[in-house]
Amino acid sequence: MIEIIPAIDIIEGKAVRLSQGNYEQKKVYNEDPLEVAKMFESHGINRLHMVDLDGAKANRIINYRVLERIASRTSLIIDFGGGLKSDSDLDIAFDNGAAMVTGGSIAVKNPEIFQRWIDKFGAKYIILGADCKDKKIAVSGWTETTDEEVIPFIEKWRRQGILKVICTDISRDGMLTGPSIELYKEIKETDPETCLIASGGISSVKDIECLEEAHIPGVIVGKAIYEGKIRLKDLARFVENSD
């Protein structure tokens, strides 16, 4: 059964969503992200993907107090990302309640540091963020696209011990146009043991069902919930069967 992981993106302490990673296309959904997190929890959700968008721009953790509020006032298992660039950033994230952290840009720009995190904290606590556009890895809050191909990038870090990968197709993120199912199938065919979490474009329960049929282990859902395209009660069967 596919795991449902709602997303909360944070700017200036508020729950927001962007379109294709564009900070100029920001929409605030709630002034208090804790209210959103509690709503997820009340519907049986036990995972949360939280992104510090201010941190992604600043290259250091910013919204750790929001993380602490959600972690201390809910039982959600939180994976946290956005701007994590140093050991001290990870210490702050873990000290404030993150169960796991996601690193993307750091794995491209400073692979030695990312490898040290895997070795120091353990692979089950470090998630690889493989954000891509046209199958090329993007970094720095999606403001830069590299020449590195997404599948070899994932394969390389799998060999280095990574267990979980969040792959976001930037061109679809926040656009409600459906996920990149063929890309995720290709990744799984390359390495069936990858714990792959799909992200970007989810617009309906049908999209989730298609990912489940493709044997994708997890999916991050954001804008579709906030815009009412997917009702939390419609996710009940996924949540109940994943326990």
Bridge partners (DSSP) of residue 77 are: 47
Written as tens digits, the pLDDT of the chain (243 aa) is 999 999 999 999 999 988 777 777 789 999 999 999 999 999 999 999 999 999 988 989 999 999 999 999 999 999 999 989 999 999 999 999 999 999 998 999 999 999 999 999 999 999 999 999 889 998 865 667 889 999 999 999 999 999 999 999 888 877 788 999 999 999 999 999 999 999 999 999 999 999 999 999 999 999 999 999 999 999 999 987 655
Q: Half-sphere exposure (CA, 13 Å, Cβ side) for 196?
A: 28
Which residues are known to be catalytic? 9, 131
d(C-alpha 118, C-alpha 112), whole Å? 10
Amino acid at 102: T
Bridge partners (DSSP) of residue 130 are: 167
Number of domains in the chain: 1
CATH number, domain at 234? 3.20.20.70
- Residue 212 contacts residue 179 (beta carbons within 8 Å): no
Task: Report pLDDT for 25.
Answer: 78
Q: Would you state the structure tokens that stand for residue 103, as one six-digit string? A: 């690193």
Task: Report pLDDT for 242.
Answer: 59
pTM summary value:
0.93
Domain with 80, as residue range(s), is 3-242
**DSSP labels for the chain?**
-PEEEEEEEEETTEEEEEETTEEEEEEEEES-HHHHHHHHHHTT--EEEEEEHHHHHHTS---HHHHHHHHHHS--EEEEESS--SHHHHHHHHHTT-SEEEESHHHHH-HHHHHHHHHHH-GGGEEEEEEEETTEEEETTTTEEEEEEHHHHHHHHHHTT--EEEEEETTTTTT-S---HHHHHHHHHH-TT-EEEEES---SHHHHHHHHHTT--EEEE-HHHHTTSS-GGGGHHHHHHH-
